[in-house]
A and B are shown apart, each in its own frame.
Chain A
Amino acid sequence: MNSSPQKFEDLSPTGDFANGESLTVEQAIANLESADLGLRFYAAWWLGRFRIGEPAAVTALIKALEDEADRTPEGGYPLRRNAARALGKLGDRQAVSPLIVCLDCSDFYVREAAAQSLEMLGDPVCIPALIKLLAVGLQGEQLTSKQPDLSQPYDAILEALGTLRATKFISLVKPFLEHPIELVQYAAARAMYQLTQEPVYGERLVQALAGEKLQLRRAVLADLGAIGYLPAADAIAQTLAENSLKLISLKGLLEHQVSHTGTSTLSPGAIKVMNLMDSLL
């Protein structure tokens, strides 16, 4: 993938879509039932993109999680994927149980979208189902011997477990630090930091910022922003990646500083981060 991340950022709600149509909320909800599968797929994306959290939209998207009409030649479920992604963005807890069901879907990308959205919804009730999926990659407390194991969206599952503070399952997260796929290692380091607050895991991500591949550096920027690891601030500012992504990452550090220092005065850490952000504008 060599499209610039700016392309996604530059889609602002006020902009016109070059090749999409402008929808109304009613149209989008109605289109989820359209005979035209393309319109359904687009409507599901659109409802998430513009955070249309109306009960009717949520209900229609939950229903779309069981869609059978839209299938790829490989047996994937494009509409289910988009519906699962949208439900994470809408923040309605009604979607939690139906998304847990999606963790058993035969389509890898539906499972991945469900794990990501369950992370966003933040309800720990899904932890056992995520652990069940994570355990596919484990024999006891070690990775399965068949590697690289790409059978499950381990990175999305690990990130969700970290965000949901599944501290009881640290021993099942830890083995994934050794996974052959770097993105999975990073997701495990991110989760381990969130579950233990031990700097060694934050430092592991900082080291990864010096890696060779731009795509991986971008992923690590997102991870560090998500965990708000302050000691990474300088390394984030200096890594070779787009300033837009560094700014988002540093904003994660800044917001973490503000929410975790209960006072209204600015902490030295917050000031440091803002000075770095200013220099990247």
Chain B
Amino acid sequence: MNNSDLAQILIRAVEEADSSDRLLDAVQELAAAGIEESVPTLIAALGYNNPGAAVAAVDGLIAMGEAAVSPLLELIDDYNYGARAWAIRALAGIGDIRALDTLLEAAKTDFSLSVRRAATRGLGTLRWHQLPPDQVESVQTQVLEALLLISQDPEWVVRYAAVTSLETLAIAIAVTLPDQASQITNQLQQILDTDADLGVRTRVKFAQEKIQQQQHQEVFAPKRKLQDTEVPYRGGGRR
């Protein structure tokens, strides 16, 4: 049996699943097979109002990586914000720079906090090396501006996500854009001093620690090129 036949069988299993457990199992199997043909079915599974199946589908799409990006961008469902949040999470997990505009837009303006949260997280996990070198600075500055704005979102969880992304951005630009890096440091301190939410303030402390550790390493390795910073831990298995 070739991949295409296998994909058809697994896709049919998803389409014919008649209970939420069966759907979950079928989506997990399809995701695990890692066959490109399955992308549209995995994207459809984001909209079934079944959190388990959606998580499995997101994991499968992230594992698929670049091949899933343009279908995700094309198929983002404007009418179902639950599905849109999952699709944004998949894009954030892949980190493909083609999703930049979608992520910026969603993080700044989407009415759903889950979508803003996922998109904000995605702004911190972009793969900068995909950009032509002469564009990196201007795009990083654009993302920084957006994150400074989003770090004042009324929802704690969106501000929390902004802190995680400010942290990764600060580390990514520590050497290349020192002025912007210090803007981030100042903003984080301001959030620590003023944010009403203890969870957000605690995450700022954690971010400050991680940025400091990285600066400490810089002292010993000043010439190291930060081409592609470490991608933050995204957890494994069922999220």
Contacts and interface: CB of A to CB of B under 8 A. Distances in A.
Interface of A: 2, 4, 6, 9-10, 12-15, 214, 237-238, 240-244, 247-248, 251, 254-255, 258-259, 264, 266, 270-271, 274-281
A13 B154 CA distance: 8
B238 A238 contact: yes
Contact of A274 (B55, B85, B202): B202
Given A244-B113, A266-B209, A258 B160 contact: no
Interface residues of B, number: 39
Interface string B154-193: 1111001100100000000000000000000000000000
A240 B238 contact: yes
Interface centre among B155, B157, B232 (most CB of A within 10 A): B157
Q: Which 3 A-B pairs have the closest CB atoms?
A: A279-B235, A281-B121, A240-B52
Interface string B132-163: 00000000000000000000001111001100
26 contacts: A4-B49, A4-B82, A6-B82, A6-B114, A9-B113, A10-B114, A12-B155, A13-B154, A15-B111, A237-B235, A238-B237, A240-B51, A243-B51, A244-B157, A248-B157, A254-B198, A255-B198, A266-B202, A271-B206, A276-B235, A280-B235, A281-B89, A281-B92, A281-B118, A281-B121, A281-B160
A266 B203 CA distance: 10
B106 to A, nearest CB: 13
Contacts of B111: 10, 15
Contacts of A12: 113, 154-155
Nearest to A274: B206
Interface centre among B51, B85, B120, B232 (most CB of A within 10 A): B51
Given A13-B154, A251-B199, A255-B202, A242 B51 contact: yes
A277 B160 contact: yes
Nearest to A13: B154
Contacts of A251: 156, 199
Interface string B54-82: 01000000000000000000000000011
Given A10-B112, A281-B164, 13 more contacts: A6-B85, A12-B155, A238-B239, A240-B238, A251-B156, A266-B202, A270-B206, A274-B206, A275-B233, A278-B233, A279-B235, A281-B120, A281-B161
A244 B238 CA distance: 15
A274 B202 CA distance: 9
A10 B113 contact: yes
Interface string B204-239: 011001000000000000000000000011110111
Given A4-B49, A278-B233, A266 B114 contact: no
A207 B234 CA distance: 25
Contacts of A264: 205
Interface of B: 24, 49, 51-52, 55, 81-82, 85, 89, 92, 111-114, 117-118, 120-121, 154-157, 160-161, 164, 198-199, 202-203, 205-206, 209, 232-235, 237-239
Nearest to B24: A240
Contacts of B81: 6, 10
Contacts of B157: 244, 247-248, 281
Contacts of A258: 198, 202
Contacts of A4: 49, 82
A33 to B, nearest CB: 31
Contacts of B202: 254-255, 258, 266, 270, 274
Contacts of A248: 157
A254 B82 CA distance: 26
Nearest to A247: B157
Contacts of B160: 247, 277, 281
A57 B155 CA distance: 25
A271 B207 CA distance: 11
Interface centre among A14, A242, A243, A264 (most CB of B within 10 A): A243
B114 A243 contact: yes
B170 to A, nearest CB: 15
Nearest to A4: B82
Contacts of B49: 2, 4
B124 to A, nearest CB: 9
